[in-house]
Structure 1
Amino acid sequence: MNTLAAVMQLLVAAAFVSIPVVRHRFGPAAKAAAEAELRRQAVRPEVLQENNLRFDASGHETAAPVTVAVVMTAVAALNLAGAGPAQLLTWIFSSLVVLMNVVIVYSNRTAVKSVEAAFHRKGDPELARVQVAPFLRAAENAFPGWVRAQTHLRNTAVFGGSAVALVAVSLA
């Protein structure tokens, strides 16, 4: 059962690593599409850079998912080794991963409202004029169609893998 938990934790780690990989590969195209949409809206595209708004895998866009992947890999190694704290650490970190993924899914579902609020908080009048829904849609459409399926697969892997890992260590 510990091996099953470890395999699921490695699946979760891989799912989280996929986030910055996809953003690194397609972030520049998303940025270009978002800038084109800003031009269409008569907003200077430079407003993105002036306000540190990015579509690539820099900063926390890489650090957070890679940290999750490293932690899940470490807990998987403990499960494979049959180490004493593996069960407790699985309960802690698999539960945290589920909660984090709930926040990610919620954030994705409420992106338009969140970005509108963030743009207004920035205090930049030009940024506040951005029509956020078409702006985000343009950036999203710059990603290949398979990325949407990959996102659903990633969420399934994270939620399902974490649940299976929790059940497996409970039965071990």
Structure 2
Amino acid sequence: MNAFIAAMQLSVAGAFVSIPVVRSRFGATATAAAHAELRRQGVRTTVLEENGMRFDAGGHETWAPVSIAAVLAGTAALNLAGISWAGVLNWIVLGVVLAINCVILWSNLTATTSVQAAFARKGDAELARVDVAALLKAAESGFPRWVWVLQNARHVIVFGTAGLALTAAALAA
């Protein structure tokens, strides 16, 4: 059972690592497309950086998923080593990972309204007129179409395999 749980954790870790891998490969193209859209709208392209918007693998777009993957790999190693308290860690780590993935999914689903609200809070007239939907669509066009499939597959893998690992942990208890 420990090997199964470890395999599920490593699958989830791989899913999280896919985020910075894709962003490092295609993020510059997405950023260029977003800049082009901002120029088309007559808005300064620096608004992305000024507001912490990134489409590449910089900042939290790398350290967060890599850190999550590292914690999952560590917990998987504890499971494979048969450490008695790994079971408790499974519940904690996988529970937190599921919660984090819910936030990521929510963020993906509400990106347009979230960015619009963030821009509105700034009180900057130029930001207020940004067509955020067009901006995000332009950035999305910088990624290959298969990235959308990967993004959704990643959610299925995280929710499904974490759920399977928790079910296995419950059966093993």
TM-score by length of 1: 0.95
**Amino acid across the alignment from 1:116:** Q
**CA-to-aligned-CA distance 1:29-78 (integer Å, 9 cap, x gap):** 11111111111111121332344432111111111111110110011001
Residue aligning to 2:63: 63
Residue aligning to 1:79: 79
RMSD: 1.1
CA distance, structure 2, for counterparts of residue 80 and residue 122 of structure 1: 49
**Amino acid across the alignment from 2:4:** L
Gaps of 5+ in 1: none
TM-superposed CA distance for 1:170, in Å, is 1.9
Correspondences of 1:17-96 after superposition (within 5 Å) = 17-96=17-96
Residue aligning to 1:2: 2
Report the 3-state secondary structure (helix = DSSP H, G, I; strand = E; otherwise coil) of the residue aligned with 2:84: coil
* Runs of 4+ in structure 1 over 6 Å off: none
**Amino acid across the alignment from 1:80:** L
CA distance, structure 2, for counterparts of residue 42 and residue 109 of structure 1: 27
Q: Percent identity between the aligned chains?
A: 59
Matching of residue 140 in structure 1 with residue 140 in structure 2: yes
Q: How many residues align?
A: 172
Residue aligning to 1:111: 111
TM-score by length of 2: 0.95
Gaps of 5+ in 2: none
